[in-house]
Amino acid sequence: MSLIELQEVVKTYGSVKALRGLNLSIPEGCLYGLLGPNGSGKTTTLRILSTLLEPDSGQVHVAGFNVLGNPRAVRTRLGFVAQDIALDKILTGRELLQLQGDLYHLRSSVKDLRIAELTARLDMDSWIDRRCGSYSGGMKRRLDLAAGLLHQPKVLVLDEPTVGLDIESRTTIWNLLRELKSLGTTILLSSHYLEEVDVLADRMAIMDNGRVIAEGTPADLKKELGGDRITLRVQEFSDENESEEVRSLLSSINEVSHVVINRSQGFSLNLVVDDQNVLPLIRQCLERAGFSIFSLSQSRPSLDDVYLRSTGKTLMDAELELAGKRDVKLESKKAMR
Ligand SMILES: Nc1ncnc2c1ncn2[C@@H]1O[C@H](COP(=O)(O)OP(=O)(O)OP(=O)(O)O)[C@@H](O)[C@H]1O
Ligand SMILES: [Mg+2]
């Protein structure tokens, strides 16, 4: 049975189409990862699931309940840990959790027990009675996670829960998510970290431009890519035309597929090779055309390659492109003034 179900969901903000017919189905007990560059619609999706935002059209169900028809039933079964943390600075962490418990109508004894359990589990004992205004980013993240877990939700939705955390805090959160999963909680988390989704998620989706463009288990998505990945840089090329020439040379080799120029890394090239013995062929082909190899590395396919095949760019390139568009908008606004 699927605990989270979105069908053909559309959401626009004025002229911005944030979701363009999104379909997603998350089985019960699954730890599901949602990847995608900035602006691809992850937060919009999670806010709709959490009843904080209404879709323009489409069907959305959580734990069998329609989020529009029965938002209260959804809220009691779902915990949401938002991307932007807004904590009251005056309250202490404990007071904030108590307030959260009251909002969920938890009995006093249950509330105190849950707060004690979560304080110990998330290693918050030494600072839980300090005011939230004095917390570091990692402390805020942990407190926010505890608030989302207080009412023991069946479904936990987290928007980039480990962004900006040190390795120790990230590991604490990863372990907690694994533990919750083993107890039967269905978890949906968005992330920018390919590694995080790779190690944690049972299944995953890559979003781009308000739609899901790839879906499956991380292992299957990588396996679908077949051969090894090669990253290659040629000594001479420094601009797009030369890298384009090398790209078409390499594309003509039968055993080579998906040759993509990686703009964020000095016009290096990423390619997928079917045959382990293709390296001499690549060398010969380039040398004949007067190019010599500066660096070359070969590895098993990663989620970055899955992303590359789905979108034609790396996650990093997609984000640079978006940042570029923002800069152009900013420039044209300045010019209009
Ligand atoms: N309140 C809003 N008003 C107008 N546009 C919005 C609003 N919220 C989001 N958007 C736009 O909707 C699109 C999707 O945004 P969303 O926040 O869902 O993306 P995201 O995948 O979570 O991005 P990020 O990785 O940066 O968190 C973007 O183009 C964004 O600018
Ligand atoms: Mg977001």
- The pLDDT value given to residue 107: 94
Among 44, 49, 208, residue to substitute to test ligand 1 (most atoms within 8 Å of Cβ): 44
Specify the ligand 1 atom closest to the Cα of 44: 18
What pLDDT shows up at residue 335? 46
Residues 263, 203 share a domain: no
**How many distinct structural domains can be found in the chain?**
2
Q: Are residue 187 and residue 287 in the same domain, yes or no? A: no
Ligand nearest to the backbone CA of 38:
1
Q: How many CB atoms are located within 10 Å of the residue 332 CB?
A: 9
Same domain, 139 and 45: yes
- What spacing in Å lies between the alpha carbon of 257 and ligand 2's midpoint? 33
188/233 same-domain check: no
Mean pLDDT of the chain: 87
Report how far ligand 2's centroid is from the alpha carbon of 34 (Å): 11
3-state DSSP assignment of residue 282:
helix
Residue 329 lies in a domain: no
Last residue of a domain, one of 201, 221, 241: 221
92 and 22 in a common domain: yes
Residue 294: the pLDDT is: 86
Lateral strand order in the sheet of 268-273: 256-262, 268-273, 228-234, 293-299
Final residue in a domain of this structure, among 192, 221, 250: 221
Q: How do residues 73-82 score in pLDDT, each as one tens digit?
A: 999 999 999 8
> In the prediction, which pLDDT does 88 show?
82
Where in the sequence is the domain holding 216, given as residue range(s)? 2-221
Q: Considering the domain boundaries, does residue 334 fall inside one?
A: no
Q: Which ligand is nearest to the CA of 35?
A: 1
Task: Kindly state whether residue 331 falls inside one of the protein's structural domains.
Answer: no
Same domain, 150 and 18: yes
In a domain, 259, yes or no: yes
Pull the structure tokens for residue 90. 């005056």
Strands (E), 73-126: 78-81
Do 142 and 291 have their domain in common?
Answer: no
Domain annotation covers residue 335: no
The verdict on 215 and 239 lying in the same domain is: no
Please tell me whether residues 193 and 230 are part of one structural domain.
Answer: no
**96 domain residue, yes or no:** yes
Q: What is the pLDDT of residues 285-336, one digit of tens each?
A: 988 888 888 888 888 777 777 777 777 767 666 666 656 655 544 454 444 4
Residue 333 lies in a domain: no
pLDDT computed for residue 315 by the predictor: 67
Domain boundary among 203, 221, 239: 221
Check residue 241 and give its pLDDT: 75
- Ligand 1: residue whose CA is nearest its atom 11: 18
Ligand 1 midpoint to CA 332 (Å):
21
Do residue 93 and residue 241 come from a single domain?
no
Structure tokens, 241: 């035309």
We report the CATH number of the domain holding residue 135 as: 3.40.50.300
Asked if 142 and 172 touch (Cβ cutoff 8 Å), the reply is yes
Q: Do residue 121 and residue 239 come from a single domain?
A: no
User: Domain holding 235: CATH number?
Assistant: 3.30.70.100
Nearest CA to ligand 1 atom 5: 13
Q: For ligand 1, what atom is nearest to the CA of residue 160?
A: 27
Low-confidence ranges of the chain (pLDDT < 70): 225-226, 236-240, 264-266, 276, 313, 315-337
Query: Rounded to the nearest whole angstrom, what is the distance from the C-alpha of residue 211 to the centroid of ligand 1?
Result: 13
- State the DSSP H helix or E strand holding residue 222, giving kind and residue range, or none if neither: helix 218-224
Ligand 1 pocket, residues with Cβ under 6 angstroms: 13, 16, 18, 36, 38-44, 83
The whole model's pTM is what?
0.79
Same domain, 116 and 259: no
pLDDT of residue 62: 97
Residue 326 within any structural domain of the chain: no
